[in-house]
Amino acid sequence: MKRIALVTGATSGIGEACARKLAVNGYNMIITGRRAERLDALARELSALGVGVMTLEFDVRDREAATAAIQSLPAEWQEIDVLVNNAGGALGLEPEYEGNYEDWDAMIDTNIKGLLTMTRLIVPGMVERDRGHVVNIGSVAGDAAYANGNVYCATKSAVKALSDGLRIDVAHTSVRVTNIKPGLVETNFSVIRFHGDKERADNVYKGIKPLTGEDIAETVYFAVSAPAHVQVAEILVLATHQANGTTIVRS
């Protein structure tokens, strides 16, 4: 019987890459996101690989919609083996005392509360079946704050704490929990952060070869494909010329 993986925020970037990587390796896929046309296009691509695909269109910030979507899954899709909590993002890059309230709400509601909602909906089944793997996409930003990153850094620190806490809570079971912490990854992350300012976003990656969504997907698969007795608790993934969240050597 094929295993089932659910990836949130699968319509672009790291989430899309994770969906492809898991599908290529034989997982039936549940892909979620806010853009139906992107979900449908990815579903067609993954189905061509010979795996089953379900699409769920909802925003993880909407707890009622998320709950209804998960409850709508047919019985044969309910036993989810891998949950990749990928949906998230950064908005704005200002001093904390000048921050935008709406940006704060979006980051907290997506990066923290959305992750919690999906965990609450999926993990009870994993515990009951005594198997499963939760992969949370955190960030190097969760290790230490950087200038003007205040709320985003706080949300990714929360992802680390929630990953560590869940790992403790399920230690009596065979469920595994992994926190993946990428550094500079070139996706649409910075375009979103800067509210569509592509020139400003491109400057983030100037002078350095950043990571790609595919690089992070490889790391996710490394963790989930480890032997059942091996729990990869945390992985920090940086570009070669990035030493931490703030030390970047550009050519």
Catalytic residues: 152
Q: How far, in Å, CA of 166 to CA of 175, rounded?
A: 10
Cβ–Cβ < 8 Å for 79, 4: yes
DSSP SS3 for 7: strand
Cβ–Cβ < 8 Å for 5, 27: yes
Residue 129, CB-side half-sphere exposure with 13 Å CA sphere:
15
Q: How far, in Å, CA of 105 to CA of 61, rounded?
A: 10
Q: Looking up tokens 């980051």, which residue turns up?
A: 107
Cβ–Cβ < 8 Å for 21, 76: no
- CA distances, 233 to each of 163, 184, 203 (Å): 9, 21, 33
